[in-house]
Amino acid sequence: MQTILVSLDFSYMDEHLIRYTFSTAQKQHTEKVILVHAAKEGQLQTEMEFEGKMMPAHEALLEQMKATVAKVLGETEFSPAIVYELMAGEPLIKILEASKKHATDLIVVGKKKIGDGTGNMSKKLSRRALCSVLTLTEKPSADMKKILIPIDFSQMSKTALKKALHYTRNTGIELTCLNIIGLPTGYHTSGKRPEEYAKILISHAEKRFAQFIEDLDTEGAKLSCRFHFDPTNSKGAKIIFNIALVEDADLIVIGSRGKSEMAAKFLGSTTERLLLNNLSIPTLVVKDRDQKVNFFEALINI
């Protein structure tokens, strides 16, 4: 992972984002971290106060960013190349422009429990960015113990699982897969009740999972899979979040197909709802455009 972009808004979240990102970047030997803030039109032409002095807003904001970075870097020996980007305009557009300009591998964005930033930005970025997007909630835990990966037996979820297995092996970190099973259309013609059908479907899913991982190296990994029956076929995001809470997961990883620009901009409704409603667990949306998911290594080693 060569380049990480971090979206800042000069709120209390910024220090958490920078600290978590630098911890990730240090483990991954990231070469460059881009810190981006998109101000309202005209804001950068005004004056602002910083440490008791009035100065042009652009300079004040830049000094504030540097002060936060200096505080975090003072806790480590990490010294990546840092680029500060201050621009005026619509935040989503400016972040995407900066990501494209710097060819970033990962975008990090924060999500607050209350206030203006409650998930819309992370949803929009995850939908439109060509690279993977990590959404951090307030005060994300730096002590990784468990990762939850919803799987649908697709190649994308297999790629993500393969990398997770590789980097969590012999670390003690638990990796829990989650497969949500719904009722097939027309199931009622079989004459079976939903509960009876569920047993058949779960048994089939267990066999599929065994086949799914049979060519993966699971030695030394703490791997398990939960199978959840959802008779309504409509509560995927809520199920994922609730099970992540029950499992006490530190990170949710969900795949997103993205080998082309058009595909990379597609985001499933379950993922979008998860990003909007998940208020407490960091979520990584993996884009597979370049088969780059090696930031697992950094995330689980924070």
- Contact of 227 with 179, CB cutoff 8 Å: yes
Token output for 296: 């697992």
Residues 122, 261: one domain?
no
Residue 24 in any domain: the answer is yes
* pLDDT profile of the chain (302 residues), mean per 10: 89 90 79 91 84 88 91 78 92 93 92 66 86 87 84 85 76 91 72 78 94 91 92 82 93 68 52 79 76 49 46
Residues 24, 105: one domain?
yes
CA-to-CA distance for 134 and 112, rounded, in angstroms?
A: 14
> Could you tell me which residues are beta bridge partners of residue 150?
178
Residues 48, 169: one domain?
no
Residue 236, CA distances (Å) to 47, 88, 193, 208, 225 in order: 48, 37, 21, 20, 16
- Contact of 148 with 221, CB cutoff 8 Å: no
Residue 170 in any domain: the answer is yes
Report the Cα 48 to chain-centroid distance in Å: 33
Q: How many CA atoms lie within 13 A of 77 on its CB side?
A: 0
Residue 30 in any domain: the answer is yes
Residue 236 in any domain: the answer is yes
What pLDDT is stored for residue 39 in this prediction? 87
Token output for 196: 């009876």
Last residue of a domain, one of 109, 136, 163: 136
Residues 89, 174: one domain?
no
CATH of the domain at 162: 3.40.50.620
Residues 60, 184: one domain?
no
Token output for 28: 């991954």
DSSP codes, 117-176: -SSHHHHHHHHH-SSEEEEE-SS--SS--EEEEE--S-HHHHHHHHHHHHHHTTT--EEE
Residues 12, 31: one domain?
yes
Residues 197, 73: one domain?
no
Residues 179, 289: one domain?
yes
CA-to-CA distance for 192 and 188, rounded, in angstroms?
A: 7
What pLDDT is stored for residue 288 in this prediction? 62
CA-to-CA distance for 285 and 123, rounded, in angstroms?
A: 10
Give the number of domains in the chain. Answer: 2
Residue 141 in any domain: the answer is no
Residues 163, 130: one domain?
no
Token output for 194: 């939903």
What pLDDT is stored for residue 190 in this prediction? 65
What pLDDT is stored for residue 225 in this prediction? 96
Q: What is the largest CA-CA distance in the chain?
A: 77
Last residue of a domain, one of 113, 136, 159: 136
Last residue of a domain, one of 136, 161, 176: 136
Structural domain for 66, as ranges: 3-136
Residue 196 in any domain: the answer is yes
- Contact of 263 with 257, CB cutoff 8 Å: yes
Strands 251-256, 146-150: parallel, antiparallel or unpaired by DSSP? Answer: parallel
Long-range contacts of 92-96 (CB under 8 A, 24+ apart): 92/121, 92/124, 92/125, 92/128, 93/38, 94/36, 94/38, 95/5, 95/7, 95/36, 95/38, 95/125, 96/125, 96/128, 96/129
Residues 155, 290: one domain?
yes
What pLDDT is stored for residue 167 in this prediction? 67
Residues 205, 289: one domain?
yes
- Coil, helix or strand at residue 105: coil
Residues 118, 175: one domain?
no
| CA-CA-CA-CA torsion sign (229, 232, 235, 236) | positive
Residue 7 in any domain: the answer is yes
